[in-house]
């Protein structure tokens, strides 16, 4: 009973702090967009009459003070209404709902690739510390952190789409052939480009954590008892080394979502990143604020899942 109360209190604290983060992020975005030079009303066409312009401003509520407009927007957001796009005159939730699945698919694929490749590489580096292989992999990790996503994306398109013709260069699927295989082919290049930004981080966290764990006394004790090196690593070292990696994965999710802006633009991927860019160019402040709230909500949910994952990996954290 006590444990259940502690878990409920923990969840309440995390959800409450996450809600404050979302409110702060939405307010900051709303005010910055509205206070930008020109304001949202600058997107209106110049060939309309003064009366039509005033009518549009009043209909969109742009004649009200910015604080009052944010209060109205926040009241609607609580009910699930994020407003109406100024550019398309469609509900913001509808526009985000059309693009969000594509972004989650791309970011999720990049994260899975980073984890599946990064953890083994980091572990191998720790086991071969100081070797030529360790230095070589560290060198490639440094390159991965330094290479711009847009440059890598262009190179991938030129090599695998233009020169070799193996993979498509743009879009989610081919209109004439909308199959799972075709979607995976379209997903391949943007996933590689986006995963390159996160893979080095996971490799470095895994290498550092594994080196620290391998130097612990209980690892030496397990090895001295005659256990096979593979058993020592997989059963004793790997589990504890994954704790910092889980934290890194949680921190990488917002970076992945932010990185989709460039990646989706290079590969013409119809996701939320491109939608955010279009909204920023058009000063569509309801859409910009709505996207910010969704991204902040995903980041908060990821943080909560990471905290819960800690308790599964390390029983000591579960007790505390």
Predicted pLDDT at 54:
72
Q: What angle do CA 274, 279, 284 make, to 5 degrees?
A: 165
**pLDDT score for 177:** 67
Instruction: Please tell me the distance from the alpha carbon of residue 37 to that of residue 146, in angstroms, as a whole number.
Output: 34
Predicted confidence at residue 47, as pLDDT, reads 55
CA distance 151 to 165: 19
Residues 204, 141: contact at Cβ < 8 Å? yes
Average confidence (pLDDT) per 10 residues, the chain, 320 residues: 65 84 87 68 56 69 77 86 82 90 91 92 88 88 85 91 86 70 87 90 90 80 74 77 83 84 88 87 84 89 81 61
CA–CA dist 67, 51 (Å, integer): 25
**In angstroms, rounded to a whole number, what is the distance separating the alpha carbons of residues 40 and 85?**
11
Q: What is the pLDDT of residue 268?
A: 86
- Residue 46: Cβ-neighbour burial (10 angstroms; 0-12, 13-18, 19+): exposed
- Phi/psi-derived region of residue 165, left when phi > 0, alpha when psi is between -120 and 50, beta in every other case: left
Q: What pLDDT score was predicted for residue 237? A: 78
Rounded (5°) CA angle 128-129-133: 60
Q: If phi over 0 gives left and psi between -120 and 50 gives alpha, with beta otherwise, what is residue 32?
A: alpha
- Model pLDDT, residue 112: 93
Burial pattern 3-18, b for ≥16 Cβ within 10 A else e, equals eeeeeeeeeeebeeeb
Phi-psi region of 249 (alpha: psi -120 to 50; beta: other; left: phi over 0): alpha
- pLDDT of 315 reads 58
Dihedral angle over CA of 260, 263, 265, 266, nearest 10: 180
Give the whole-angstrom CA distance, residue 257 versus residue 247.
17
**Residue corresponding to tokens 């993979």:** 167
What is the rounded distance in angstroms from the CA atom of residue 61 to the CA atom of residue 40? 11
Superfamily of domain 92-150+192-319: MetI-like (1.10.3720.10)
């Amino acid at each position: 009973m006590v444990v259940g109360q502690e878990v409920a209190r923990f969840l309440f604290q995390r959800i409450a702090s996450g809600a404050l983060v979302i409110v702060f992020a939405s307010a900051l975005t709303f005010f910055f967009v509205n206070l930008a030079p020109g304001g949202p009303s600058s997107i209106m066409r110049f060939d309309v009459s003064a009366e039509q312009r005033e009518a549009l401003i009043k209909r969109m509520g742009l004649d009200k003070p910015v604080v009052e407009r944010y209060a109205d927007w926040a009241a609607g957001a609580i009910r699930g209404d994020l407003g109406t796009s100024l550019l398309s005159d469609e509900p913001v939730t509808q526009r985000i709902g059309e693009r969000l699945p594509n972004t989650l698919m791309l970011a999720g694929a990049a994260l899975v690739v980073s984890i599946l490749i990064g953890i083994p590489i980091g572990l191998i580096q720790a086991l071969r510390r100081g070797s030529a292989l360790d230095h070589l992999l560290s060198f490639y990790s440094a390159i991965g952190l330094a290479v711009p996503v847009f440059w890598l994306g262009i190179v991938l398109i030129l090599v695998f789409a233009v020169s070799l013709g193996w993979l498509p260069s743009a879009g989610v699927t081919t209109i004439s052939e909308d199959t799972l295989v075709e979607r995976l082919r379209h997903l391949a290049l943007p996933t590689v480009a986006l995963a390159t930004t996160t893979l080095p981080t996971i490799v470095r966290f895994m290498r550092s954590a594994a080196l620290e764990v391998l130097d612990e006394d209980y690892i030496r004790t397990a090895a001295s008892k005659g256990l096979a090196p593979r058993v020592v690593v997989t059963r004793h070292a790997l589990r504890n080394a994954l704790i910092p990696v889980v934290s890194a994965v949680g921190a990488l999710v917002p970076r992945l979502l932010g990185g989709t802006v460039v990646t989706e633009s290079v590969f013409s991927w119809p996701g939320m990143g491109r939608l955010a860019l279009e909204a920023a160019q058009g000063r569509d402040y309801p859409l910009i604020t709505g996207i910010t709230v969704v991204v902040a909500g995903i980041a908060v949910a990821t943080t909560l899942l990471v905290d819960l994952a800690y308790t599964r990996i390390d029983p000591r954290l579960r007790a505390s």
